[in-house]
Structure 1
Amino acid sequence: MSVDSKSNQFTHSNVERRASIVYGSVGKQGLFVPKDFLHLGAQQEDSSEQNEHEPLLGLPNNQSTKPRRKSSVARELLQQERDILINNQIPCDETDDNNIALAFEDAVINKKIKKATPLNELVALVKSSIPLVMTFLLQNSLSTVSVFSVGHLGAAELAAVSMGAMTANISGYATIQGVSTALDTLCPQAFGAKKYHLVGEYMQKCIALNFVIIAPVLVIWVFFGGEILKHIIPDEDTAVFAGEYLFYLCPGIPAYIMFECGKRFLQAQGIYHISTIVLLFAAPCNLVMNLIFVKKFGFIGAPIAVSINYWIMFLGLLFSTLYISRKSDTDTPMKCWSSLSVRRAFLGWRNLVSLAIPGWIMLEAEFLAFEILTFMASYLGTRKLAAQAVGLTIASLTYQVPFAIGIASSTRIANYLGAGLGESAKTTTKVAICFGFVVSLLNFFTLYIFQMPIAELFTKDPKVIEIIHDIMWLVALMQISDSMNANSAGCLRGQGQTKIGGIVNLVSYYVIGIPMSIYLSFFSPWKGSLDGLWIGTTTALTIIAVVQTYCSLHVDFDYLCDQARKRTSESLLF
């Protein structure tokens, strides 16, 4: 069966079957994409020969006569197609697989399926988020373990690791992650449009772009980091330690770049379990190395352990991806990899840069805002700086849960838009926002109830613990706004609207939040406490969450589908 390309782009074939859109695959608990329900193309051409100007959802070849595969994935897909037909009250013979496939195809072509159901989307997001939450918590534990291990050396060392991490976050991690957010839009949309080779090419281009940007930053860290920090941090010993932290962190940054981009390469295909497995091995290694290296080498043992661990993470991700591709001949991560081309990696950055810049601004604005607060805390005293470091570490850990939901939502929304299913993308956006709000309440109650036990995990200094206890109610309260911010930002990335996030982050933090924090902490009747820093931050996050949520829910999804079509149809060479 086929249709005219001008009237409809959907078709049905019995090959190139993948997992379903609603539930996770067996053993992967991964995200499945709208294209899985569209069954496009009977035979995939060699990716290097595909025309990048072809329609978004390629035109059908002759109908395949091969029987539908009876793998567990295919059976699960059939069940989901059956459920969707039933939910939409579309008649079909529930016992006949071929009838289900034809009825589903006819429903898509004639637009009888308007959107996915909220319940199905919720189930899919929960299943997708679980391995992502594990991944991000494990990844975030790398820096948390450093704070934990160094914190027991003393307040000065705890303050130093906080300042070193602050500098690394502002000038390094925020840049890498911000640039890499472009892949959260480009790769899932290319995958949803069945242009698999573009997924791999975008990843290579993003790695190259990150290397070009981060190279001068590493030079500064190595040769000038300590001296620069001496002019910024009031305590010289803290500045020296922080400079050493940056120096020993440098060798691991290239591996961190490749891991971040590789992780997004897999996430775009709905494959989340590989990075989780890698981190399940890497996180304990990081803990053991931290404990051993800090005991043997002192403060510098922490950044050395983190740097080594980044290479363990990257090599583990690479090995796992290649190993899986050899074990199976279908539905493998490497189907989105055509070949390594260094020359092409440094060409055709237009689409990438157009999304990377606002993505970088959005993340950099947030990273920098929080690190400015850490910097201001250094002028309130060493113990208050140490308490601020613990508070930010706790907030960062809890942030990983809504952030994981945001990533799952981003991928799913982008997949839908790439396949031209705007109504389903709209449903996913609504479900993601509601799901994120529930998680925000859970984070709030967890931190509020377990204030003292959490503080005592990080330090034994009673005065630092007392300060932490004083601000924990604010750290807990901030979770509601921060969670909504993470989820709405994920929706905007999936929709390709990162510019909105960039603008609202800049205005909220630097026009409202930070000035309020400075006033409350240094000039108001309550000056000298950390409370003002957290009140200003919470105010900014609340504004961001409200604006981003509104924008993500009130966008024209048909327009977003058109934008996705144009984006994946354009040549990468210009």
Structure 2
Amino acid sequence: MTHQFTHTTSERRASTAIVGSVGRPGLFVPQDFIKYNKDQIGSALTSLEDGLDPDELEQDELEGGYPLYADEGNDSTNDNGNDNGNGNDDDPSMSSRLLTPHRPCHSNSFSNANSRRQSFLLSEEAALLKANRIPIRRLSTGLENTTSLYSSTNNSTGVAERSNAAEYNYISPNNICTDRVCDVENDEAIVESWDAAVKMGKLKTTVAIELKSISRSSIPLVITFLLQNSLSVCSILAVGHISSEALAGITLGSMTCNITAIATIAGLASSLDTFLPQAYGAKKYHLVGIIFQRCVVLIFTIMSLVCLSWWFFAERILINFLPDPKSANYATQYLKVNSFGIPGYILFETGKRFLQCQGIFDASTYVLFVCAPLNALMNYTLVWVMGLGFIGAPIAVSITYTLMAVGLYLYTTRTRNQINPMKCWTKFEISRVCRNWGELVKLSIPNLIMIVSEFLSFELMTLLSSYLGTKPLAAQSILATMASLTYQIPYGVSIGAGTRIANFLGAQLPESAFIACKSSFIFTLVIATLNCSIFLFGKGFIASIFTNDEEVIELSSRVFPWLAFMQIFDALNSTSAGSTI
């Protein structure tokens, strides 16, 4: 049984990232709860091959196709005969996610992404070995004084002991493996030293070590989630100072867009999370391309009907929720203009999955790092500098969605990444992509229901607030936006902590897993206390950032103490979910 770390945050970060909502999608990932066995996925992929040219299939075979769920070199069966020791032998996502722990990252046999992933895991192990003052054998040095894990052995107990006089040369945790070259001997040294230390019970951790590790892994996640959340926050900030009616209008328009478009697109695209990794793992590269194309065309077809309904029926429906016709008109304008950005959003959500199945998880983050600041700049420029007013906000959102799709396209076609994502592209033919949608829809429906339900659970508060009037709805918009913004921090911590705990449990280190869990709650309590204090003492100032309307500021200020109180439990709930998944 392996004792190596096998989990990173990359896959979870990618799968939970749904851009554009002030809700909380991603607290639970559908793939964590909806399981499909190997036979179901295998037969579905076989049917999806219909339409591929024999030449394309032959080309994939020449490149070395493998059977689905190949267990080559993956000895992860525990003593009870259960794969991975967790009973997830029917979970197709596990075989595609887990890298064989004992296999060093040879540059000629592993993709660049797997090398980076293995490097991260090895650096985590090396850091903990160093914290415990356990030397890592440098097989490449050939030095006798560094070829044994411990310098002396207690003959009476048979337990190895470290010599205090020995000076150990550690492999730097930051110099395990680069994107291009991996030191295989050093990697094997870390693996062997780690396994020996675990078996001998020498690995211990502390709260301080875990706080440092969790904070280091959480910071990139928090930044990514805040950037995603900023796309909706910037629009609300931009129009809030126009009037309370404009703030209420963009809130209702954004709610409608989130439920009918954003959640629907994410749910339909989720079928790619299952199909694409399996097709790519079997080296059926052209199948990856045609499944991607079919899903894109399927979503385009469905969303064209949704966008048409926005143009012709939105206002007469929304007027039933808002007593103020002006706010309903604002919401309708938002939906109509935002419809022009929906194609870009579809391509972004499906495109990032096209790259993720090939092990490229950072492309969407790079795109957001560019597009999120541009979105903020465009909102301010269009709404205030150019004087377009309310209509400038949805224009900025539509342009941003389009730029996000363009960014992914440029990364895919122009990247120097060794993986070469374009090898999975295949010729686009209407006759090929407009068939076999049934398997995609069948796999998408459970995920779609789960994601839409999660959106509705938060957007429902906005819907109910609309019956109270324009100003209460505007106040609700401020409160929901701030609650969502502060939630991104403990949510990022929960993913970082969950990964760390999973690695300790997989390495058969339950005591260390408990310490990591305890550390994550301590970290979360500090964050929650800080958020609570900000809401309590800055309630009036925060509300004034969003609007000039004194009545809306007063309404928001009266509810902020309750929101501050909720921060403690909201943050702990997020961390608890991350620590148990």
TM-score, normalised to structure 1's length? Answer: 0.62
In structure 2, what residue type is equivalent to 1:466? E
- 1:165-207 CA distances to partner (integer Å, 9 max, x unpaired)? 111112122223345566678888999x897969888866765
Question: Number of residues paired by the alignment?
Answer: 449
> SS of 1:49's equivalent?
coil
1:102-121 aligned within 5 A = 102-104=188-190
1:159-308 aligned within 5 A = 159-180=248-269, 207=296, 210-211=299-300, 213-263=302-352, 274-295=363-384, 296-308=387-399
Give the direction of change, closer, same or farther, for the CA distance of 1:110–1:455 in structure 2 (3 Å limit).
Answer: same
Q: Counterparts of 1:117 and 1:199 in 2: how far apart (Å)?
A: 42
Aligned equivalent of 1:448, options 530, 533, 536? 536
1:49-60 aligned within 5 A = 49-55=65-71
> Which residue does the alignment assign to 1:127?
216
Q: Counterparts of 1:481 and 1:46 in 2: how far apart (Å)?
A: 55
Give the direction of change, closer, same or farther, for the CA distance of 1:311–1:301 in structure 2 (3 Å limit).
Answer: same
Give the direction of change, closer, same or farther, for the CA distance of 1:56–1:121 in structure 2 (3 Å limit).
Answer: farther
- 1:312-331 CA distances to partner (integer Å, 9 max, x unpaired)? 122123323544x31x53xx
Q: Counterparts of 1:259 and 1:121 in 2: how far apart (Å)?
A: 35
Q: Counterparts of 2:292 and 2:518 in 1: how far apart (Å)?
A: 29
Give the direction of change, closer, same or farther, for the CA distance of 1:314–1:109 in structure 2 (3 Å limit).
Answer: same
- 1:367-409 CA distances to partner (integer Å, 9 max, x unpaired)? 2132222122222222111111111111122222233345556
Q: Counterparts of 1:413 and 1:204 in 2: how far apart (Å)?
A: 37
CA contact 2:267–2:451 (8 Å) conserved in 1: yes
> Which residue does the alignment assign to 2:460?
372
> Which residue does the alignment assign to 1:143?
232
Q: Counterparts of 1:116 and 1:181 in 2: how far apart (Å)?
A: 39
1:266, distance to aligned residue in structure 2 (A): 5.7
- 1:477-527 CA distances to partner (integer Å, 9 max, x unpaired)? 2333333444455x4xxxxxxxxxxxxxxxxxxxxxxxxxxxxxxxxxxxx
Give the direction of change, closer, same or farther, for the CA distance of 1:256–1:76 in structure 2 (3 Å limit).
Answer: closer
Q: Counterparts of 1:201 and 1:150 in 2: how far apart (Å)?
A: 42
CA contact 2:230–2:372 (8 Å) conserved in 1: yes
Please say which structure displays the higher CA radius of gyration.
2
* Runs of 5+ consecutive residues of structure 1 not aligned to the other structure: 1-7, 12-18, 25-43, 492-548, 554-574
1:75, distance to aligned residue in structure 2 (A): 8.1
Give the direction of change, closer, same or farther, for the CA distance of 1:393–1:268 in structure 2 (3 Å limit).
Answer: farther
1:404 matched to 2:492: yes
CA contact 2:294–2:434 (8 Å) conserved in 1: yes
Q: Counterparts of 2:368 and 2:104 in 1: how far apart (Å)?
A: 43
Q: Counterparts of 1:168 and 1:64 in 2: how far apart (Å)?
A: 44
Q: Counterparts of 1:238 and 1:375 in 2: how far apart (Å)?
A: 14
Give the direction of change, closer, same or farther, for the CA distance of 1:207–1:423 in structure 2 (3 Å limit).
Answer: farther
* Runs of 5+ consecutive residues of structure 2 not aligned to the other structure: 11-59, 76-99, 142-183
Give the direction of change, closer, same or farther, for the CA distance of 1:157–1:64 in structure 2 (3 Å limit).
Answer: closer
Give the direction of change, closer, same or farther, for the CA distance of 1:458–1:79 in structure 2 (3 Å limit).
Answer: closer
Q: Counterparts of 1:221 and 1:58 in 2: how far apart (Å)?
A: 51
CA contact 1:205–1:349 (8 Å) conserved in 2: no
Give the direction of change, closer, same or farther, for the CA distance of 1:253–1:439 in structure 2 (3 Å limit).
Answer: farther
> Which residue does the alignment assign to 1:496?
none
In structure 2, what residue type is equivalent to 1:448? L
Give the direction of change, closer, same or farther, for the CA distance of 1:376–1:67 in structure 2 (3 Å limit).
Answer: closer
1:467, distance to aligned residue in structure 2 (A): 0.8
- 1:98-157 CA distances to partner (integer Å, 9 max, x unpaired)? 665445555789995699968777655533432332222223222212111211111111
Greater RCO structure (CA 8 Å; 6+ sep): 2
Aligned equivalent of 2:562, options 466, 474, 477? 474
Q: Counterparts of 2:61 and 2:3 in 1: how far apart (Å)?
A: 18
Give the direction of change, closer, same or farther, for the CA distance of 1:469–1:92 in structure 2 (3 Å limit).
Answer: closer
Give the direction of change, closer, same or farther, for the CA distance of 1:364–1:255 in structure 2 (3 Å limit).
Answer: same
Identical aligned pairs, as a percentage?
37
Give the direction of change, closer, same or farther, for the CA distance of 1:78–1:409 in structure 2 (3 Å limit).
Answer: closer
CA contact 1:134–1:276 (8 Å) conserved in 2: no
CA contact 2:264–2:448 (8 Å) conserved in 1: yes
> Which residue does the alignment assign to 2:404?
313
Q: Counterparts of 1:449 and 1:206 in 2: how far apart (Å)?
A: 48
- Structure having the larger proportion of residues in helix: 1
Give the direction of change, closer, same or farther, for the CA distance of 1:78–1:375 in structure 2 (3 Å limit).
Answer: closer
TM-score, normalised to structure 2's length? Answer: 0.61
In structure 2, what residue type is equivalent to 1:371? E
In structure 1, what residue type is equivalent to 2:425? S
In structure 2, what residue type is equivalent to 1:52? L
CA contact 2:136–2:193 (8 Å) conserved in 1: no
308-317 or 274-283: bigger deviation: 274-283
Q: Counterparts of 1:85 and 1:454 in 2: how far apart (Å)?
A: 46
305-314 or 396-405: bigger deviation: 396-405
1:259, distance to aligned residue in structure 2 (A): 2.1
Q: Counterparts of 1:116 and 1:338 in 2: how far apart (Å)?
A: 44
Give the direction of change, closer, same or farther, for the CA distance of 1:174–1:348 in structure 2 (3 Å limit).
Answer: closer
CA contact 2:104–2:187 (8 Å) conserved in 1: no
- 1:443-500 CA distances to partner (integer Å, 9 max, x unpaired)? 33332332222111011111111111001112222333333444455x4xxxxxxxxx
Give the direction of change, closer, same or farther, for the CA distance of 1:436–1:99 in structure 2 (3 Å limit).
Answer: same
1:237, distance to aligned residue in structure 2 (A): 2.0
In structure 2, what residue type is equivalent to 1:278? V
